[in-house]
Amino acid sequence: MQTHLVGRDMITPDEWTDDEVNTIFEVAFDLKRRRAMGEPHALLRDKVLALMFFFSSTRTRVSFEAGMAQLGGHAQFIESRTTQISHGDTAKEIGEIVGRYCDGIAIRQCDWGVGNQYIRDVAQYSRVPVLNMQCDWYHPFQALADMMTIFERFGRDVRGKTLNVSWAYASSYQKPLSVPQSLITLATRYGMNVRLTRPPEFKLMPEIEDLARDYARRSGGSFEVLDDFDAGFEGAHVVYPKSWGATLTTTDMEESARIAGQYTDWITDRRRMDLADESVCYMHCLPADRNIEVTDEVIDGPQSAVYDEAENRLHVQKAVMALTMR
């Protein structure tokens, strides 16, 4: 367990060592136990976390605000459109100034080609930790919560278990690549056999796929790319079908939606779940487009872990805040 993480940014777990990531899980499980037992754990008393949102959220805002309160601190909600961020404040100024007012800065900025760089620019000038609440490249806390949920279902040794991270059709909007990109690189670090299943137009960033392959080689797991929705489910222990945009094919969101319309049959239903291992766990970061992306029968069924997964966002976020903001 590592004890030197005060002041560290969390932009992606790929920049943390295996021991450091394992420390996050150790602390997250301990904090989850403490909350279940009603044990006070005000580890960040009088600390303030700035929550800067360029995109709306439900789980992210509620879990970070609740987490800071449970840790004895305060979360300060900042909406970009109602502040000078929308017409003047630079990333340098945010890092320098907010970093002097607060004890941590958390940012959600998902604009393609903008979000990750903006978070890194703020971090360059901040004297306090910067936490990525989701950008165009990464969703670190979602991936950490996903792995914590997989550990709860299958134990801490998940080597040899098959995870199918699949694209699925959704009609709501063209979602970022960040959830699947963070998940495939984290799961391969733990020796899982990871499948990325997607239509040819819905590629992920090549450097992210290469990193997943490298992690798989080092951990004894595997990484493969499939383009057959049913094949991705076959024998899988964890299935994670969700939508994302055809961002690497086109940056025109209307064109991306038109391409997605060719694959409306990529929906998770009972027949697809029956192709998987009998112990299969269905996961989704939420919100899901019900009866378009996944049927009610599946998402509300006994094989679904979506609510445990959503709860675990709270615990992994508290762990990283407690480790970095003291």
pLDDT tens digits, 21-49: 999 999 999 999 999 999 999 999 999 99
- Given this model, what pLDDT does residue 194 score? 98
Q: Does residue 326 carry a pLDDT above 90? A: no
Average pLDDT value for residue range 100-126: 98
Span 122-162, pLDDT tens digits: 999 999 999 999 999 999 999 999 999 999 999 999 999 99
Q: Do 158 and 289 fall within a single domain?
A: yes
Q: Do 79 and 129 fall within a single domain?
A: yes
Q: Do 193 and 114 fall within a single domain?
A: no
Strand partners, 197: 166, 226
Q: Does residue 215 lie within any of the structural domains?
A: yes
Q: Which two tokens stand for residue 181?
A: 């990109």
Residue 146: CB partners within 8 Å, gap ≥ 6? 183, 186, 187, 240, 283, 285, 309, 312
Kindly report the pTM of this predicted structure: 0.97
Q: Do 293 and 319 fall within a single domain?
A: no
- Given this model, what pLDDT does residue 197 score? 98
Span 168-177, pLDDT tens digits: 999 988 999 9
- Given this model, what pLDDT does residue 237 score? 98
Q: Does residue 246 lie within any of the structural domains?
A: yes
Q: Do 146 and 284 fall within a single domain?
A: yes
Q: Does residue 1 lie within any of the structural domains?
A: no
- Given this model, what pLDDT does residue 177 score? 98
Q: Does residue 86 carry a pLDDT above 90? A: no
Q: Do 158 and 288 fall within a single domain?
A: yes
Q: Which domain holds residue 211?
A: 142-309
Centre a 10 Å sphere on the Cβ of residue 118 and count the other Cβ atoms it contains. 19
Q: Does residue 94 carry a pLDDT above 90? A: yes
Q: Does residue 62 lie within any of the structural domains?
A: yes
Q: pLDDT class for 256, splitting at 50, 70, 90? A: very high
Q: Does residue 5 lie within any of the structural domains?
A: no
The total number of structural domains in the chain stands at: 2
- Given this model, what pLDDT does residue 46 score? 97
To 5 degrees, how large is the angle CA 53–CA 56–CA 57?
Answer: 100
Q: Does residue 44 lie within any of the structural domains?
A: yes
Q: Does residue 82 carry a pLDDT above 90? A: no
Q: Does residue 319 carry a pLDDT above 90? A: yes
Tell which residue, 129, 199, 143, has the closest CA to residue 168. 199
Return the DSSP state at 263.
G
- Given this model, what pLDDT does residue 85 score? 86
Provide DSSP, 2-62: ----TT--BS-GGGS-HHHHHHHHHHHHHHHHHHHHT----TTTT-EEEEEESS--SHHHH
Q: Do 151 and 276 fall within a single domain?
A: yes
Q: Do 94 and 22 fall within a single domain?
A: yes
Q: Which two tokens stand for residue 3?
A: 């004890």
Centre a 10 Å sphere on the Cβ of residue 279 and count the other Cβ atoms it contains. 12
pLDDT averaged over the chain?
A: 97
Q: pLDDT class for 88, splitting at 50, 70, 90? A: confident
- Given this model, what pLDDT does residue 1 score? 87
Residue 36: CB partners within 8 Å, gap ≥ 6? none
- Given this model, what pLDDT does residue 174 score? 92
Centre a 10 Å sphere on the Cβ of residue 124 and count the other Cβ atoms it contains. 13
User: Is-contact 110 80, C-beta < 8 A?
Assistant: no
Q: Does residue 8 lie within any of the structural domains?
A: no
- Given this model, what pLDDT does residue 81 score? 86
Q: Do 133 and 164 fall within a single domain?
A: no
- Given this model, what pLDDT does residue 238 score? 98
Q: Does residue 84 carry a pLDDT above 90? A: no
Domain of 114, CATH number, reads 3.40.50.1370
- Given this model, what pLDDT does residue 40 score? 97
Q: Does residue 3 lie within any of the structural domains?
A: no
Longest Cα–Cα distance in the chain: 55
3-state secondary structure 103-165: CEEEEEECCCCCHHHHHHHHHHHCCCCEEEEEECCCCHHHHHHHHHHHHHHHCCCCCCCEEEE
User: Is-contact 276 260, C-beta < 8 A?
Assistant: no
Q: Which two tokens stand for residue 143?
A: 């991936």
Token pair 């998987």 is at which residue? 276
Q: Does residue 267 carry a pLDDT above 90? A: yes
Tell which residue, 167, 106, 98, has the closest CA to residue 141. 106
Q: Do 252 and 184 fall within a single domain?
A: yes
Phi, psi of 140 (to 5 degrees): -60, -40
Span 185-232, pLDDT tens digits: 999 999 999 999 999 999 999 999 999 999 999 999 999 999 999 999
Q: Do 148 and 101 fall within a single domain?
A: no
Q: Do 49 and 83 fall within a single domain?
A: yes
